[in-house]
Amino acid sequence: MSDVDMGHMEFLEQVTIEDCASLREKEATYQGSWKRRGGVGAFMMMARKWDRLEVMVKNQTFQYDIFRAIDIATEK
């Protein structure tokens, strides 16, 4: 058995349900606008999100450990 923490798996279904609900809500506004430019638009959307994540964790000792950053942010 691996010593890797897999506790996140118990939240997977709920996160999926909430993500789908959020996507439905946003899609009502955006109406697939990200698809108009094909793969480039989708890539740039994801790149912007990644850029914001990097800024959020760049000065931390746990750089690129998104889960640790979330833990610290929610402890406040």
Per-domain residue ranges of the chain:
7-33, 37-76
Q: How many degrees, rounded to 5, is the angle at CA 55 between CA 24 and CA 3?
A: 80
Using a cut of 0.85, tell me whether the model's pTM lies above it: no
Mind listing the pLDDT tens digit for each residue in 25-72? 988 988 877 777 777 877 888 899 888 888 877 766 666 777 877 777
pLDDT for residue 19 is more than 90: yes
**20 pLDDT higher than 90:** yes
Tell me 4's DSSP state: S
Of all helices (H) and strands (E), which one includes residue 71? Answer: helix 66-75
**pLDDT value of residue 15:** 93
Question: What is the C-alpha separation between 70 and 64, in angstroms, rounded?
Answer: 11
The predicted structure's pLDDT at residue 17: 95
**R_g of the chain computed on alpha carbons:** 16
